[in-house]
Structure 1
């Protein structure tokens, strides 16, 4: 799709069970291109879930009640400010963020609702050597509070204190090593990363926005124009994504998130 990220897959019907050879080919393509796009795949939820579980174990997303469907429905008409329109990796405030996501388009507005992804391997690799060395030694605080306050302001009925107690702030490395490829990726994001540990306020005000802004450089990106029946499958570890909030008609997407199989965990 672009030089550095994204590939479109043809010649496979995701409504049917995949052979081990097909799974292996897709997994290698996914590790190479970071996000795979499948067109004209009109799946039901059961088929969507079966495809996802060929690549990892089921992740139970934040805020899902026990026994709820593993299919998370994103049904929006006024998405601006709800969190998707910030560059982010999913749920980095959790002790083990999901390995990957599989998002399927069900309904679209007439115009708009694209999604962008960015390659955070490349974001790290294109920093100057001196800045890479600094980032290699840093950790950062990830905190759910900011995104929760935005959700509450948009009318979602969350109890902020309860959510903060469930997911207290935690420290993560600023540079993450991918457990399968061994490559280093920049691991901060606007939605959840609040500060770089050990730096002064003034240093944080300079460096953290610089790193976040660097990640969204156009040369690191791919942009998808959805169609009903399109599936996107991305590796949450070396990518960030951004849902373009440029519509006011209904957009309905179904998503499954997965964790790594034991042999692929870091």
Structure 2
């Protein structure tokens, strides 16, 4: 009865018809019971991105403890850059500071999903507002379930089974080059739904196609993802935390804001995406 009572207090309030939910009834230092973990992880796969208001002054250790509700933490995320190394020396690793990582220069203001040049991209990511902008500077997410399902059956049949080369060709700020091949369409293991797995920052080309065919199809899909019907937007406030499932969403920052913009990121280890 105690477990059932705990679960009844967790509420998922849909943010849009296609993506996102605001979560009520979860505390910052929530005890990781199996029932709570299952409810949150299933909710994440269903809604794509979850929004929490955890209160002001969330410390890094508290955020990391909260993040463990969603999986095993990655010690360090992703690519080595000069700015990341400078932050690590200052003891601010994991902090996304727009003063050191300009949104346009680092392509975070373009639709993307993290780490697809890796064989095992992150499964999920968590951002907590440390010093949110005075005005603007929010983050948007797009449902790749909805993006796939909105395509005609002809396009779905074309994409099913195609493979895509992902790499760091468009990210000159990355010090180490990386490439990996993933399906153009993947299937989420929890919901069973198919999701488009092509993004404008890291997807370089379709395999077994001519360059002109691949470029035309890529351009179409990059524009398709911009459809507002697939989107949800978040305005950052102190203590706001967003958790998103990397495989079934894309995200982008809004590069129009006043004041500082500091967010702390943690990522969850993932496996190889599969169709």
TM-score tier (shorter): 0.7 to 0.9
Change (3 A) 1:20 1:70: farther
Q: Match for 2:187 among 167, 177, 188?
A: 177
Tell me the equivalent position of 1:206. Answer: 216
Which 5+ residue runs of structure 1 have no aligned equivalent? 152-157
Q: Secondary structure at the match of 2:70?
A: coil
Change (3 A) 1:180 1:265: farther
Structure 1's consecutive aligned runs of 4 or more residues displaced over 4 angstroms after TM superposition are 68-71
- 1:1-266 to 2 correspondence within 5 Å? 1-42=15-56, 43-59=58-74, 60-62=76-78, 63=80, 72-77=94-99, 78-147=102-171, 149=172, 151=173, 159=175, 163-164=176-177, 167=178, 169-247=179-257, 249-260=259-270
Alpha-carbon contact 1:15-1:41 (below 8 Å) kept: no
- Shift in Å, 1:221: 0.6
Change (3 A) 1:40 1:52: closer
Alpha carbon RMSD of aligned pairs, Å? 2.2
Alpha-carbon contact 1:123-1:186 (below 8 Å) kept: yes
In the alignment, the residues of structure 2 paired with residue 187 and residue 134 of structure 1 have an alpha-carbon distance, to the nearest angstrom, of: 14
Which 5+ residue runs of structure 2 have no aligned equivalent? 1-14
Change (3 A) 1:24 1:216: same
- Shift in Å, 1:51: 1.3
In the alignment, the residues of structure 2 paired with residue 255 and residue 75 of structure 1 have an alpha-carbon distance, to the nearest angstrom, of: 11
